[in-house]
């Protein structure tokens, strides 16, 4: 979070390093998520990782980035540069609780669509068709696809806020892992348990659209 919050100022000083820092921070999140899945399976803790849309999309993004597929699901910082003046669509999701918000970190919806069309050998999941159906329902994917035509924007210029999806993913798994979080171990554990026992998450079928002209 600190990395993203400082990025606007740092981008003006050293763009390449600022982008690298943000990418490293995001990858540490999805790699940690994958490690949690691995550990829980070794401990024989049952959780349906691939049937929960928030968890599913994070694990798929981690897999394709690890194997350099679907253009690595580029962030806007990797796909765009400040000289590109094309119109862009930014999609945030409606908070279930009034006033809900997060900071922003946008990933390419076009790359995400490419990911959802990979076969099982590439995506590392047993049923790509089922995964696509689940995620299109979760995101209202057909509506996301329609925005480029509706607003006259290149189809690969639509971006979704992954931070809100991370919140949803944590909300999905929290009931099954709540007893494993000891708030006395650290301030982070205490904050995590407090936040995810009360946060309502996001309705990713409902979109809040911003158009950036250039």
Q: Where are the domains of the chain?
A: 2-213
pLDDT band at 9 (very low <50, low <70, confident <90, very high): low
**What's the CA gap between 206 and 51, in Å, rounded?**
21
pLDDT band at 180 (very low <50, low <70, confident <90, very high): confident
Span 134-151, mean pLDDT?
A: 96
pLDDT digits (tens, 9 = 90+) for 65-99: 888 888 989 998 887 766 667 899 999 999 998 88
Strand spans (E) along the chain = 87-95, 106-108, 158-161, 202-213
Q: Are 132 and 117 in contact (CB under 8 A)?
A: yes
20 half-sphere exposure, CB direction, 13 A CA radius: 4
Q: Count of H helices and E strands in the chain?
A: 11, 4
Q: Round the average pLDDT of the chain to a whole number and report it.
A: 86
**What's the CA gap between 93 and 45, in Å, rounded?**
31
- Helix or strand or coil: residue 172? helix
**Cβ burial 153-178 (10 Å sphere, 16+ → b, else e):** beebbbbbbbbbbbbbbbbbbbeebe
pLDDT band at 190 (very low <50, low <70, confident <90, very high): confident
pTM above 0.75, yes or no: yes
Structural element, H or E, at residue 139: helix 128-139
Kindly tell me if the per-residue pLDDT of 185 is higher than 80.
yes
**Cβ burial 90-129 (10 Å sphere, 16+ → b, else e):** bbbbebeeeebebeebbbbbbbbbbbbebeeeebbbeebe
Token pair 């803790």 is found at: 45
Of residues 85 and 111, more confidence is placed in 111
Q: Spell out the residues 6+ positions from residue 165 whose beta carbon is closer than 8 angstroms to its own.
A: 54, 57, 58, 93, 202, 204
HEC assignment per residue over 15-54: HHHHHHHHHHHHHHHHHHHHHHHHHHHHCCCCCCHHHCHH
Sheet harboring 202-213: ordered strands across? 106-108, 158-161, 87-95, 202-213
Span 176-192, mean pLDDT?
A: 86
**What's the CA gap between 86 and 103, in Å, rounded?**
23
């Amino acid at each position: 979070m600190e990395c993203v919050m400082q990025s606007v100022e740092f981008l003006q000083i050293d763009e390449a390093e600022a982008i690298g820092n943000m990418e490293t921070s995001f990858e540490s999140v999805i790699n940690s998520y994958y490690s949690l899945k691995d550990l829980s399976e070794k401990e024989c803790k049952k959780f349906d990782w691939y049937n929960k849309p928030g968890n599913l999309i994070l694990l798929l993004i981690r897999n394709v980035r690890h194997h350099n597929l679907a253009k690595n699901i580029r962030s806007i910082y990797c796909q765009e540069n400040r000289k590109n003046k094309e119109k862009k669509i930014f999609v945030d999701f409606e908070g279930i609780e009034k006033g809900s918000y997060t900071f922003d970190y946008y990933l390419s919806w076009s790359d995400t669509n490419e990911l959802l069309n990979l076969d099982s050998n590439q995506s590392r999941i047993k049923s790509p068709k089922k995964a696509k159906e689940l995620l299109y329902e979760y995101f209202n994917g057909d509506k996301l696809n329609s925005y480029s035509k509706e607003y006259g924007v290149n189809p690969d210029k639509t971006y979704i806020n992954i931070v809100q999806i991370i919140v949803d993913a944590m909300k999905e798994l929290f009931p099954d892992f709540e007893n494993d979080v000891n708030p006395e171990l650290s301030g982070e554990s205490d904050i995590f348990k407090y936040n995810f026992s009360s946060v309502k998450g996001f309705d990713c079928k409902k979109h809040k659209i911003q158009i950036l002209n250039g």
